[in-house]
Structure 1
């Protein structure tokens, strides 16, 4: 079991391995986190843990690292807004992010571009420092039975789903696109690209193996495609624009 203590960045979203995460960081506790990460040599990974916030929990007003347009950033202690037991505020399974780009702006805010790398399980959360940190356990990705065949089925279902979403614009989504062969990569790509809410995406992230994730995706894609098929009065482009969670 590989464990590590990493800076913790909670989001109202789910990050998957291999997916890019752009962040606009302005709140002081996350700015402090980025300043700390910048101390790491450029040749070394600048890692932090990303976890999704559970529905129904009170969170810091700018806890996602995105600007609050009405009131601006507020200065708070690192654990304020996350309750007496911060670990219960977050989903147990998250993802390590590697910040390939951290750029500090003249006003002290940061532009960050990170990539998900490895799934992790949250073991504990520490609130005593300038930003949240967590003890995490890295999770291996098991293939499961028939992952290859399931991946082929999921890709077919995903193309049909894209076609329903895009309508006449299907060509721009699928034609010429290089699709992955690795079942685990397929499972993460489809989970990230599908228009699903945080609870559904979280279930996919924490699936026990690739085959289980692909099976659930196949069910979700078929269900979502059927729903879209019965909504002819709603332009497909509106479906793709509708927010599924607050970032």
Structure 2
């Protein structure tokens, strides 16, 4: 069943479980933030969805947005004297965008359907364990090349297999397209293969070029601009 969800289009991809700080300055998204805080928008949830290459300043058509986005929970909000906000959000459920309403509110409102993952409960335990360890190993190789000791840490050992790919991607500098691919994939085991391949590829490129991404303090600004 379709549901209505306020949308926040961005040039980034939010994955389930990931934290996203935002600096809110545009009037329409100031209003969205105020509505989230006041409870006008229920449960303090809105949808983060990526822009397509054809997107213009004014979003008017579904085709200007990615087909799949991620619902985000507003966790912290700091009101600034000039009406702007600094907020911190966390990715939750994936959704598919069905339709777009540009008149219901100052901000975009989407008609969305929630996406569920493929059930992996019947998958052989040894196969699942092997995929998890292979993905974790690729993450270790990537981080050993990309970051200095102390700038990253191993994910907890009890992260569920259906969440692990998202956790491994959280501190890695993947492209918009790679993150969108992970977000759209509803097959947890396939996601593990994909993240393993992506991180192995990136680690190989960095090793060959003897170049690494900008370190986290420089690359990861405290807040993304809206």
Same topology, TM > 0.5: yes
TM-score (norm 1): 0.78
Deviation at 1:11, TM superposition (A): 0.7
Please point out which of 153, 158, 162 is paired with 2:143: 162
What is residue 49 of structure 2 aligned with on the other side? Answer: 51
Please point out which of 204, 207, 213 is paired with 2:182: 204
Task: Please state if 1:132 is matched with 2:108.
Answer: yes
What is residue 193 of structure 1 aligned with on the other side? Answer: 171
What is residue 2 of structure 2 aligned with on the other side? Answer: 3
The alignment partner of 1:118 has SS state of strand
Deviation at 1:196, TM superposition (A): 1.2
Equivalent-residue separation in structure 2 for 1:171 and 1:101 (angstroms): 26
What is residue 231 of structure 1 aligned with on the other side? Answer: 209
Residues 145-172 of structure 1: per-residue CA shift (max 9 Å, x gap): 5444212210011001111112xx2354
Equivalent-residue separation in structure 2 for 1:24 and 1:239 (angstroms): 21
- The answer to whether the Cα contact below 8 Å between 1:143 and 1:211 also exists between their aligned partners in 2 is no
CA RMSD of aligned residues (A): 2.4
- The answer to whether the Cα contact below 8 Å between 1:142 and 1:210 also exists between their aligned partners in 2 is yes
What is residue 66 of structure 1 aligned with on the other side? Answer: none
TM-score (norm 2): 0.85
What is residue 153 of structure 2 aligned with on the other side? Answer: 174
Please point out which of 163, 176, 183 is paired with 2:161: 183
Size of the alignment, in residue pairs?
215
- The answer to whether the Cα contact below 8 Å between 1:8 and 1:48 also exists between their aligned partners in 2 is yes
